[in-house]
Amino acid sequence: MSDRIVFACSCEKTMPLDADAIARGCTGSLKLADQLCGRELDLFRNALRADGPVTVSCTLQSPLFEEVASEFGAEDRVAYAKIRETAGWSSQAREAGPKIAALLAASAEPVPDAVTVPIESHGVALIYGRDATAIEVGRRLAEHLDVTVLLTRPESVEPPLRNDFPIVQGTVAGAKGRLGAFELRIDDYALPAPSSRSHLLFGPSRNGATSTCDIVIDVSAGTALFPAHEVRLGYMRADPRDPAAVERVIAEASHLVGIFDKTRFVDFHADLCAHSRSRITGCTRCLEVCPTGAIGSAGDTVTIDPYICAGCGNCASVCPTGAAAYALPPADALMRRLRALMLAYEAAGGRDAVVLFHDGAHGEPLIDALARHGDGLPARVLPVRLNEITQLGPESFAALFAHGAAGVRILARGRPKHDLDSLRRAATLGDTLARGLGYGGAAADPVVSLIETDDPDLLGAALAAISAGRTARAPSRFMPIGGKREVLRFAFNEMHAAAPEPVARIALAAGAPFGGLDFRTADCTLCLACVGACPTHALSDSADRPLLAFEESLCVQCGLCANTCPENVITLKPGVDFEAWAAPRRVVKEEEPFACLACAKPFGTRSTIERVVEKLRDRHWMFRGEAGEARVQALMMCEDCRVEVAVNQGFDPHAGPERDRPRTTEDYLRERAARGEAI
């Protein structure tokens, strides 16, 4: 921020500004204002003429500032920070200088542009209902959309005077798809009789009909056709007994014609996926938490449909390998923003920071209401807005504690739109690791937790009750770079290095995404099946000699190695071993290669050859007796010598002992005749 011009506006002197504290946290050129959007607007214009980056401490008037910036072609050089409702309008506003500095510094961190996918809708709409409400919705939308009305089990529905759009009978038995590409399976499908008089009559029905459409409008008052239906693009649902809800659906549906850009919320890297190997299922965490059904199994990996994905971020939060990475913003961009926030807060003299994660749709209005009608946020509570709070993972919590945070809170809805179990598990994991390293205070006060409320007063009370706890001995300044797994490894190591009470290992519950492996090395034959199954390369071998090596920081506890091992010598051990995470790859077992009995060429491993010989000697007809012993010796030869011995011996692998001929009815009749018995 050295060349950045930072404007801190008091919003007509409604909030005090600690210029010294803000200047210490913001290393750019700080300029104070009282009405930057009005009589002091020329200060902003002059800053734009300098061709450097600019930060404005106002989001309310950002449209005005964007208009002015466009005159200079400087839209990309201006960043905006919200300090009024988040810091200045508070009963602790005079102590909020470090917080304001932190918010200004964090807002200057660049965020990559979102990637989009195109969706096209031609306006073909299916209206699903039970009565005249569905027909009325169809009539209202007929001038905007290509409408078909589907009535499920209708009773006494008056027929229209004009057939301006099709009205049919049927019940949706299955549905899939999204805006522009819905496919519905319909049972009890029937066409209406043109002679319907007082009420609609329908002809013979059939099951298994299929309907494709761009938009589905559901006013049936039945069960929703899709999971997490609120975020399924193109599917709109309203209770027919609620006229206002029906009107909202009509207004929204009438505009769903054309080509739309939908954000691709998740970047998926199939080469990192630990879902399956060799038809053995490993990690299924993302499949279990996706509320929309956008994730499906596809052999060794999963697939994520960007058209159905609603961006909740659950998959990215629980994915231990980084195969599913949230892209709004990417993990490393979010971590750099958190780093800038914490470093500026510390530089400005702030202490015992509590980071409050929230979203825009629910959390921001709650914070605004608390600032306008209550005491506002405490001076040490630093709000961080995310696209979705469920995108948070343990790397974010670890980095914050490494940078000096005293606690983390996540603001969630009292009545959430979708399941928060994965977020609660992530918070519990973060709390367990932080407490295990000595962060935090009283045992009754968690270090990482959720605040689930829709009431701003309850939010204020929960934040005010957070006690000060122990923080990092010397806050880290590490810069997060790379993918999710690399960032997580750095964050864990830095959190451990800065911990008030560092320990070597913290045990975690079964199912945790981190841990080591216990090996019964005495029974391991170094077949290396586990190496082939490991999707993260935590297990590896060597091209020079028979060995098995393990790197714990790469292990995601998917279980593929344990389920693949033919000797059952591998056991999962969930936990975080900080010493192992910082250490290089360790050798689990190493052997000298087995030397061929004939030519002394090294091949295979001694334990493997001995195990094969043990299982076959005197147990199989090919390896019994004097001839069998010669074949046992052949097993201890390299492939070239083994072929030569087999050819010289004239060995026929199919020349086994003759088996008894199956007994037939004729055999039994012949034996009875020989005994003189009647047939």
DSSP string, 67-136: HHHHHTT-GGGEEE---IIIIISSTTGGG-HHHHHHHHHHHTS--PPPPEEEEEE--EEEEEESSHHHHH
354 shares its domain with 316: no
| C-alpha dist (Å) from residue 368 to 56, 89, 415 | 19, 9, 19
Look at residue 206 in the predicted model and tell me its pLDDT: 96
> How many Å apart are CA 410 and CA 85, to the nearest integer?
18
Is residue 1 scored above 60 in pLDDT? Answer: no
Number of domains in the chain: 5
> How many Å apart are CA 256 and CA 144, to the nearest integer?
9
356 shares its domain with 457: yes
- Greater model confidence, 608 or 447: 447
The CATH number assigned to the domain holding 540 equals 3.30.70.3270
Inside any domain, residue 653: no
477 shares its domain with 344: yes
- Greater model confidence, 15 or 674: 15
172 shares its domain with 296: no
Confidence of residue 658 (pLDDT cuts 50, 70, 90): low
- Greater model confidence, 604 or 587: 587
Q: Which residues contact 512 (CB under 8 A, 6 or more apart)?
A: 429, 557, 574, 575
Summarize pLDDT for 570-582 with one digit per residue, the tens.
999 999 999 999 8
| C-alpha dist (Å) from residue 32 to 9, 22, 23, 517 | 6, 10, 10, 58
Among 23-37, 86-100, 372-386, name the one with the lowest average pLDDT: 23-37
Closest Cα to residue 36, out of 55, 20, 52, 16?
A: 55
38 shares its domain with 124: no
254 shares its domain with 268: no
How many CB atoms within 10 Å of residue 595?
A: 16
307 shares its domain with 387: no
The Cβ-side half-sphere exposure at 617, using a 13 Å CA radius, reads 14
Look at residue 651 in the predicted model and tell me its pLDDT: 59
> How many Å apart are CA 112 and CA 125, to the nearest integer?
36
> How many Å apart are CA 212 and CA 193, to the nearest integer?
23
The answer to whether residues 434 and 397 touch, using CB atoms and an 8 Å cutoff, is yes
Residue where a domain stops, chosen among 537, 566, 590:
590
Look at residue 678 in the predicted model and tell me its pLDDT: 65
Summarize pLDDT for 323-354 with one digit per residue, the tens.
999 998 888 899 999 999 999 999 999 999 99
> How many Å apart are CA 178 and CA 511, to the nearest integer?
33
pTM over 0.85: yes
> How many Å apart are CA 613 and CA 636, to the nearest integer?
8
Tally the residues of the chain.
679
Summarize pLDDT for 210-253 with one digit per residue, the tens.
999 999 999 999 999 999 999 999 999 999 999 999 999 999 99
What are the structure tokens assigned to 352, written together? 């015992």
What residue numbers bound the domain in which 567 lies?
Answer: 515-590
Confidence of residue 612 (pLDDT cuts 50, 70, 90): confident
Look at residue 171 in the predicted model and tell me its pLDDT: 97
H or E segment and range at residue 30: strand 29-33
Is residue 600 scored above 60 in pLDDT? Answer: yes
Look at residue 117 in the predicted model and tell me its pLDDT: 95
Q: Is 17 helix (H, G, I), strand (E, B) or coil?
A: coil
| C-alpha dist (Å) from residue 185 to 171, 226, 233, 293, 342 | 8, 13, 19, 18, 53
Summarize pLDDT for 128-149 with one digit per residue, the tens.
999 999 999 999 999 999 999 9
